[in-house]
Amino acid sequence: MQHAPPEKPLTPTDQVQNLILESADFEDFLNELARFSAHQMAGDGDDALCGITLLRDRKAATIGWSSDSAREVDQIQYSLSQGPCLTAAQEEREVHVPDLVEENRWGPDYASAVASHGLRSVLSLPFHLQGDAKAALNLYSDAPHKFDERATARAREFTREISQALRLAVRFSLHSDSATNLRATLESRTIIDIAIGIVMAQNRCSQEAAVAILTEASSNTNTKLRDIAKSLVDSVGGLGTRTHFQEPGQRQADQSA
């Protein structure tokens, strides 16, 4: 009797795609992503805080946080208009603070304020977005020198792996203060790009395959591609979508099974 091969463990990309489909709405997804990032970067038996900073129109905001403390320490930087996460986002480069006790790049107020929360080290990694918006993933630890060369390399790789999901989420956050506002303001190309991202998450497929899926749906229903994309985007006012386009040929295979 042959046994089924053991399932491969989910990659961070797979797990983040699951978060997209399981989250109730965009804010919930971003907070879950921050908690997941904190867990991935903390290591066994350790703890870490994570915030996701978005810079747009010269204004900074934390759009996802692993805990209230993570949001509060991000706010310290915004109130001072300086700090590692702002530098990382604005200049699109990694910023590492090995020990806040010895830190003076942003003056004494920043380091002492964050250290008062029991934190000692910080790592901020830029996320490269399309358009004028900029973002950074911010990691905090209560241990000095927590983010050594190995941890930084792991964080860099993790950020790369979750880039597609984060880009999709940030794009939604830029345009969807409400589902009505989303439908009214998104341009055709952006709607199609978002729909492609949704199909990629649902089917765990490449961008090229997602385009083929949407194109086939457009052809089969004699509907413009933009309208197909808009229908899919409208269906995910909260990320718990039930609309699911399948890969070309899969539908026929399912029906004949």
DSSP 247: P
pTM of full prediction above 0.85: no
pLDDT in tens, the chain (257 residues): 455 555 667 777 778 778 877 877 777 888 888 999 898 887 655 678 999 998 887 788 888 899 989 999 999 999 888 999 999 999 999 999 999 999 999 988 899 899 999 999 999 999 877 777 789 999 999 999 999 999 999 999 988 888 777 777 666 666 554 444 434 433 455 777 888 888 888 888 887 788 778 878 877 888 877 788 888 888 875 443 344 444 445 544 444 44
Domain 12-166 has CATH 3.30.450.40: yes
CA distances, 71 to each of 136, 140, 200, 239, 254 (Å):
13, 11, 30, 23, 46
Task: Give the separation between CA 94 and CA 92, rounded to whole angstroms.
Answer: 7
Task: Give the separation between CA 208 and CA 212, rounded to whole angstroms.
Answer: 6
Task: Give the separation between CA 172 and CA 41, rounded to whole angstroms.
Answer: 25
Q: Where in the chain is the domain with CATH 3.30.450.40?
A: 12-166
